[in-house]
């Protein structure tokens, strides 16, 4: 790592894009004829999605097979991707902050999201703006064998990115994930609005001058 450089590590859902799980489920329900409540129960309430985020289904095909097994119907990669995209809307203020940070010579921006391999391989379709800004620094928790808020996932992500915790600023909408990052030694901010995030970034910068 170059001395003086800073890492700005962002969560994705409800920080850079709003996430509407119900909208996502409606697309699956319309395509399969399954009840939305059944889909939510078998994929999310069962713990399957949390397991996937933690790396128990390390490939996209294994993950999609898990969907098929639990729902008892065909779930194609195309349907999964279309449904995920339907539940996501950009937050312009956050994207503007990311764009500004990407132009700073002393800063790197990256993503650490609780998700599995399908999000990683379809990110250019799901979140094209974010994918373009972060490049290969778009990280999903499943790649590290654990998930937020486990402090270990932050340590492993930092090792992958080549930064120390003291040089890193992390932002997430969930308080438990913010706490996990703080335990790992990162400066951590809970996202509420882009304006509040901008102020927190300014404070981080000021503390390191």
Asked if residue 104 is part of any domain, the answer here is yes
Q: Please count the structural domains in the chain.
A: 2
- Assess whether pLDDT exceeds 50 at residue 175: yes
Residue-level pLDDT at 189: 98
pTM: predicted TM-score of the whole model, two decimal places: 0.95
Residues in the chain: 209
Compute and round to an integer the Cα radius of gyration of the chain: 17
> Measured between alpha carbons, how far is 171 from 174 in angstroms, rounded to an integer?
9
Q: CB-based contacts of 152: which residues, under 8 Å, 6+ apart? A: 144, 146, 184
Percentage of the chain beyond pLDDT 70 is 98
At 209, the pLDDT band (50, 70, 90 cuts) reads confident
pLDDT tens across 197-207, in order? 999 999 999 98
Asked if residue 110 is part of any domain, the answer here is yes
Evaluate whether 70 touches 131 at the Cβ level (below 8 Å).
no
- Assess whether pLDDT exceeds 90 at residue 2: no
Clarify whether residues 126 and 160 are in a common domain: yes
Percentage of the chain beyond pLDDT 90 is 96
- Assess whether pLDDT exceeds 50 at residue 91: yes
- Assess whether pLDDT exceeds 50 at residue 162: yes
Other C-beta atoms lying within 10 Å of the C-beta of residue 185: 15
> Measured between alpha carbons, how far is 151 from 183 in angstroms, rounded to an integer?
6
As given in the structure block, the two tokens for residue 201 are: 């970034």
Domain that holds residue 72: 21-86
As given in the structure block, the two tokens for residue 42 are: 């078998």
Q: From residue 29, how far is each of 22, 34, 39 by CA, in Å?
A: 10, 5, 8
- Assess whether pLDDT exceeds 70 at residue 178: yes
Mean pLDDT of the chain: 96
Residue-level pLDDT at 208: 82
Clarify whether residues 78 and 157 are in a common domain: no
Residue-level pLDDT at 20: 98
> Measured between alpha carbons, how far is 56 from 48 in angstroms, rounded to an integer?
9
Clarify whether residues 82 and 93 are in a common domain: no
pLDDT tens across 118-151, in order? 999 999 999 999 999 999 999 999 999 999 999 9
> Measured between alpha carbons, how far is 3 from 18 in angstroms, rounded to an integer?
34
> Measured between alpha carbons, how far is 59 from 140 in angstroms, rounded to an integer?
12
- Assess whether pLDDT exceeds 60 at residue 48: yes
Evaluate whether 84 touches 115 at the Cβ level (below 8 Å).
no
As given in the structure block, the two tokens for residue 202 are: 């300014």
At 4, the pLDDT band (50, 70, 90 cuts) reads low
DSSP H or E segment with residue 189? strand 187-190
Q: Which of 62, 86, 110 is the last residue of a domain?
A: 86
Evaluate whether 7 touches 168 at the Cβ level (below 8 Å).
yes
Asked if residue 1 is part of any domain, the answer here is no
Strands (E), 17-162: 17-19, 88-90, 107-113, 138-140
- Assess whether pLDDT exceeds 60 at residue 1: no
């Amino acid at each position: 790592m170059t001395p003086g450089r800073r890492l700005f590590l962002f969560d994705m859902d409800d920080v850079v894009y709003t996430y509407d799980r119900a909208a996502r489920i409606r697309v699956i329900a319309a395509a399969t004829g399954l009840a939305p409540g059944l889909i939510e129960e078998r994929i999310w309430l069962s713990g399957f999605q949390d397991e996937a985020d933690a790396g128990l289904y390390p490939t996209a095909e294994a993950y999609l097979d898990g969907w098929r097994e639990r729902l008892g119907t065909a779930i194609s990669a195309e349907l999964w991707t279309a449904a995920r995209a339907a539940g996501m809307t950009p937050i312009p203020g956050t994207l503007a902050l990311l764009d500004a940070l990407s132009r700073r010579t002393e800063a790197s921006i990256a993503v650490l999201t609780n998700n599995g391999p399908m999000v990683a391989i379809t990110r250019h379709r799901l979140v094209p703006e974010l994918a373009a800004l972060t490049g290969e620094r778009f990280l999903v928790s499943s790649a590290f064998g654990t998930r937020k808020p486990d402090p270990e996932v932050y340590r492993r992500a930092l090792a992958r990115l080549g930064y120390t915790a003291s040089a890193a600023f992390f932002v997430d909408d969930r308080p438990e994930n913010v706490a996990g990052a703080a335990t790992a030694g990162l400066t951590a901010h809970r996202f509420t609005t882009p304006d509040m995030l901008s102020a927190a970034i300014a404070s981080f910068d000021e503390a390191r001058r």
